[in-house]
Chain A
Amino acid sequence: MRITLNGEPRDVTAVRLTDLLDELGFGDARVATALNEQFVAVGDRAGVIVAEGDRLEIVAPMQGG
């Protein structure tokens, strides 16, 4: 299915958010997630199903002022 990952179209296979993060290579990474502009906490990821057309944001620590 096709989702929007960090603003870019992306074809993925996993539907559970935890599995999807593994598929994308973020399995152990220190990242935070939001699905369709809603924050998804780490503890809630396993219960979240990603669907066609969903918008997933994955963010990580970055330089800031």
Chain B
Amino acid sequence: MRAFYETELTSSLMLGTAGYPSPAILAEAFKASGAGVCTVSLRRESAGGAGQDFWALIRELGIPVLPNTAGCHTVKEAVTTAHMAREVFDTPWIKLEVIGHTDTLQPDVFASVEAARVLSEDGFQVFPYTTDDLVVGEKLLAAGCEVLMPWGAPIGSGLGLNNEYALRAMRAEFPEVPLVVDAGIGVPSHAARAMELGFDAVLLNTAVSQAGDPAEMARAMALAVEAGRAAFQADPMEPRDMAEASTPVIGKAFLS
């Protein structure tokens, strides 16, 4: 597996921490997932200090933390949020999200490139949430990103890989760059498919946290990611339109 800013992950599964029925179920799901990274966010702290308990829970997971800039719509908002995240989570990693469209949560790729440039120059290690556009990918790399995270489908939609062709093209275009399918994964087969295409990781959240049994779905995702990775490494056969008998014809008894 390719390293992410020189960090080798223990698993190709990056798992979000939002939307679990309870903190206990979140912890159980993470344990079952064996996730290599957890994603987190920043929100206004209440007087009760809910964030402090959550921070304690996250530290107990014992895996790298990837804070996001979810909900940001401008370069300034995202950059300020990144600075706050770097301080609170004590990491240079930032999952850069600059949202451009309310209904699809499609990233504003123009603002994302600019924010990535500003943050990279300031020492951040940027994980940009982006579309599957090759030109945007190239510009994000030129801005200093060493990872690309194209969407599979809109965040939280569970639609899977909407444009497999584009994801394949991305893998081919950037053979040395760690690539992560971020968003859209709904079921384990989607995650396995992304890994079969040669992606280095998948990042998902809702598919696990909103499943009836999050821990069991987390386990299923872990198996899928592992299976997909192994399949990619095994160099899959090429599909063909017509049948080709797998059983040898030579030596078949003459019986008609």
Which residues of the other chain, A, contact B39 by a CB distance below 8 angstroms?
64-65
Which residues of the other chain, B, contact A32 by a CB distance below 8 angstroms?
42, 83-85, 87-88
The tally of residues in B whose CB lies under 8 Å from a CB in A reads 36
| A:18-65 near B, CB below 8 Å | 24-26, 29-34, 37-39, 41-42, 57-65
CA separation between A64 and B182, bound complex, in Å? Answer: 13
Per-residue CB proximity of B25-47 to A under 8 Å, as 1/0?
01000000000000111111101
Q: Are B70 and A60 in contact (CB under 8 A)?
A: no
| Chain B interface SS verdict (over half) | mixed
Q: Are A60 and B55 in contact (CB under 8 A)?
A: yes
Q: Are B44 and A29 in contact (CB under 8 A)?
A: no
Q: How large is the interface on A (under 10, 10 to 19, 20 to 34, 35 or more residues)?
A: 20 to 34
Q: Are A29 and B17 in contact (CB under 8 A)?
A: no
Which residues of the other chain, A, contact B45 by a CB distance below 8 angstroms?
6, 26, 29, 31, 58-60
Q: How close is B10's CB to chain A, nearest CB, in angstroms?
A: 20
Q: Tell whether B5 is near chain A: CB-to-CB under 8 Å.
A: no
Q: Are A63 and B88 in contact (CB under 8 A)?
A: no
CA separation between A32 and B82, bound complex, in Å? Answer: 11
The answer, among A25, A42, A60, for a CB contact under 8 Å with B42, is: A60
Which residues of the other chain, A, contact B206 by a CB distance below 8 angstroms?
65
Given contacts A60-B45, A62-B54, contact A39 B84 (CB under 8 A): yes
A to B CB contacts below 8 Å, 27 in the list = A30-B55, A32-B84, A32-B87, A41-B87, A58-B44, A59-B42, A59-B84, A59-B88, A60-B51, A60-B54, A61-B41, A61-B58, A61-B89, A62-B40, A62-B51, A63-B16, A63-B17, A63-B18, A63-B41, A64-B16, A65-B16, A65-B19, A65-B68, A65-B70, A65-B156, A65-B205, A65-B206
A residues whose Cβ falls under 8 Å from a Cβ of B:
6-7, 24-26, 29-34, 37-39, 41-42, 57-65
